[in-house]
Structure 1
Amino acid sequence: MEWREFFYFNRSDRSVVLSIIVFAAVVWLLAVLFDNTDEVGKIGTVVSQDSVGYKATAKGFSAEEDAKPYYYNVGDVKVERFPFDPNTADSTQLLRLGLQPWQVRNIYKYRAAGGHYSRPSDFARLYGLSAKQYKELEPYIHISADYRPAQEMAVKDEVVHSKDTARYPHKITLQQRIAINNADTTLLKRIPGIGSYYARKIVDYRKRLGGFVSLKQLKEIDGFPESTLQYMCIPDGGVRKIKVNKLTLNQLKAHPYINFYQARDIIEYRRLRGPLTSIDNLKFLPDFTPDVIERLRPYMEY
């Protein structure tokens, strides 16, 4: 049928023919569009698979494995404390000590690269280890003789019996106690759980107080391990007292239990009423609560 013959049809016939043509065109157009989409999808799939395959080949993993996310599932690990050598401890031991999986991984990488820890302080340089973690772990770090510096081993015979320079003191047992009012840092480090850091803290705080009158006072040291108290004792006496009627304001407030305002009140009391005869003379002053009075009582001298 020639195109001009179309115009010899009546109106209804022409409408039918046009509808058929339009329908056929729409069907053809949809077929073309869907066919192109499938091709694009196939190309995208091939490219994606090739990319993953290349990545897998380069890294040594399969595409399926490479697509999986990696998580550490350590669960609720109960933190424990026990002696360990960071040069030889396995991942299970390190996790039990409270280290995070990524910190354990850093230790393994360091050791795999040929690094080793020659002394406990070397462990403090572990990337990501906080100062608090190191302070808690330091008393339990024991470096094997194989990893210690040769120089240290050469002079071992000279220092092993020296009380002041012993680097790795033997720890005491539960049946033994150390009197903390006259012990030096070397002796204090023989207490399980006490390393150089807390030994220095005990000595410094004891000096500022004038001596301990109760083991509970050690809890006033930030982060102090309470489990160590069972190895300590405080014999009677040995406390250096404050000459409350002779010290200046600055000397008074140097004591941990006396702040600036309390020192000022003491100075004012002496100026207005004369020397103190008892700590109870101060109990009517607002800054001297009953708790403050009792804490100061063992340290006052009139």
Structure 2
Amino acid sequence: MKPYFSSREIRALMIFLPLCVLAVAGMRLARPKAGPAEVCAVAHEAERPADSVRLFRFDPNTIDYAGLRQLGLTAYEAASLLKYRAAGKVFRIPEDVATCYGFTDSLYFRLAPYIRIGRKYAVAPPAYRSERVVRQPLAPAPFLIDTVSALYLRAIGALSKRQAEALVRWRDLHGIRDMEELRECYVVSDSVAAALEPYVRFAVRHDPAAERVELNRADSAALCSVYGIGAKSAAAILRYRERLGGFRCVEQLAEVREVTERNYERIVKQIWCDSCEIQKIDINFAAPNTLMRHPYLPPRIVRKLLRERQLKGGWTTVGELVRQNILTEEEAARLAPYLRFGSRNDPGNDAASHGEALEMQERIY
């Protein structure tokens, strides 16, 4: 049987192995031995707190390792808390900190005064949840309804947030001049109005009857000064007045689409009409476009007028238009103040037609 090693290899191993043993023994002899104090320090390194201890308020859900060490925790205790969080645990109340592995009661009682659980993690008892807390309302004081804010109405407990905002929008759109108009707001109940009445104050305004606006001479600025007329409705009134030739009476203002029924009741108390300012149409000579522009002359009547005027040549009184079935008595009474008959320089025909128009209006109305 052939041997595993040759005689030469055996001699080399016998020399190499003693040399290795000597080298290892020399290295161990050359290494300095640790004293008992050093061995204790190494063994208890994880138990030694940080050199500078500083207690401060902290949230155990967000504090890092360095912060824990500054609080005086050992490396082992700080790592234990971080492992607790890494496992998906959340500190809901301060007492949860005491459940960390390695935390003693003395350590928890030392940290307890400084533990602050953030709102994101804390669990509040149902009786103290923020949505169930009813704030103490402010004591109401006299306030001006024209300038009061929705925030103040909420603060005194008069209305909810949505109701207060709705009241302010209503006031800005319609205006509130007295308690009656305040009660008209759909969010103000009778009980709320009764509670607010001792404190609500209304702005002092001039008597509109003492400073009435003449409707046929007023410009846009004068119309906007009337309570109940805004910029949009003022422009609509001026356009309608131009088409009409002027207002004969204040009731005609209700024919303007932009004037609501509620605002109309306010406006009529602040305006008056001078019927002498009406611009009349000479029905015997007016162009078709002029006739078509008038709101009281629909196309069917204009076609009849033009056809009969071409055949007959014209009219002298509004009664002739009724007798020829061009106008009904109601249409003639409404249109008569805006018509001229005959020559523009013949005042006699105008006086006769005006007298007939008044007689017809009295008969109808």
Higher relative contact order (CA 8 A, sep 6+): 1
TM-score by length of 1: 0.47
